[in-house]
Structure 1
């Protein structure tokens, strides 16, 4: 699915990522790597393989699009160091020519030296072209001169079918001044979005992204 915002053409991918061809960049949000281990330590039986599944999916996109940079809009890691963070370190070494940018999220609490060791460039916010990239949507986005790209919310939408059938799907949410990406990670919550006036919603349905009509 191709969309244009901020004068730039973006490809919305069913893997819940954006490819920005002009900058040879993949943009993702909310991987929450290590979250499974965080829950397992608390005695909750979450499959540890979810971490590897997220990395395999990201690797699939890297092979397909050959990006020069990957921009992560926060919550790359879910909490403190654990062996699943080290899985990232081993995985990341396969791609020495790709620059990994992290716009820090509320769960990104590692020490600065750890991000350096993991070969991640960390930003509190990142401005590139017409885009102002942050993790948490901000209150002044409606009046800002830049177009904001955000994560954090994990947006989803309910699609109504016939005979009261419905399905809840992750989605991309675009307004005139900002967009919110769906969570890339497989082990995340979801938040129902409300259609603001003029907003567009693009739901992830299997292997495609489709626009959802308002109302």
Structure 2
């Protein structure tokens, strides 16, 4: 875990690829893409749902460790159309009641509105929590924007020309990006300026690299 001070707020950057916001006691995650394995199976690619079970288990452990006041998903909670993966997640999230969850809808969150009717889950397009505006896709917002969607990664190069691309947390002048929490997701290399703060995730550690 590494700590980043931003606009007077203490953000604990977790190697599990989430943020614990100390002052609010909130746990923030982006891009779980639950159900993606089932989506691939429909296309004839045999991928087990166990990969999503691992994500839920990790989230369960984070909740037990930090005991957050609420959990916030920055979009792409579920990957595509309804499948058994959503029913498993629905049972899990109900089991966490009365802990409240908020979902800022992402471009992959395309389930029917009725699917999100869970007593301890609130769904919205955008969430403003001073000093941050929380969205799925990065936007120019009035407050500092925290978002997901990009699945940011940074490439590190060694002396022997070897290189490694690692998921990262990114904080620029007006916006920050969370890495994808889900294990069954890709990454996208981002452009970095000298003034940006970038924290790479490797070997269960979060290390500042810029």
**Which bin holds the TM-score, normalised by the shorter protein?**
over 0.9
Alpha-carbon deviations, 1:170-200, whole Å to 9, x = none?
A: 0001012110000000011110011034111
* Maintained 8 Å contact 1:68/1:97: no
Q: Post-superposition shift, 1:105? A: 0.2
Q: Contact between 1:89 and 1:118, CA under 8 Å: does it hold in 2? A: no
Q: Which residue of 2 aligns with 1:64?
A: 65
1:147 maps to 2:144: yes
| Structure 2 residue matching 1:164: 3-state secondary structure | coil
What is residue 128 of structure 1 aligned with on the other side? 129
Structure 1: how far apart are the matches of 2:182 and 2:14? Answer: 14
Where do 4+ consecutive residues of structure 1 move more than 6 Å?
none
**Structure 1 residue aligned with 2:162, among 141, 161, 165?**
165
Q: Which secondary structure state, in structure 2, belongs to the residue aligned with residue 203 of structure 1?
A: strand
TM-score normalised by L of structure 2: 0.96
Secondary structure at the aligned position of 1:132 is classed as strand
Structure 2 stretches lacking a partner, 5+ long: none
Deviation string for 1:86-143 (max 9, x for gaps)? 11011112210211000000000112221113742001000012110000012xx2xx
By how many angstroms is 1:76 displaced?
0.1
Contact 1:74 1:102 in 2 (8 A): yes
Q: Indicate yes or no: 2:204 matched with 1:191.
A: no
**Which residue of structure 2 lines up, in the alignment, with residue 207 of structure 1?**
204
Aligned CA RMSD, in angstroms, stands at 1.2
Match of 1:10 in 2: 11
What does 1:19-30 correspond to in 2, within 5 Å?
19-30=20-31
Structure 1, unaligned runs of 5 or more: none
TM-score (norm. length: structure 1): 0.93
2:81 match: 80
Partner residue of 1:178?
Answer: 175
1:118 and 1:187 map into 2 onto residues whose CA distance is: 28
Contact 1:154 1:191 in 2 (8 A): yes
Helix, strand or coil at the partner of 2:65: helix
Secondary structure at the aligned position of 2:31 is classed as coil
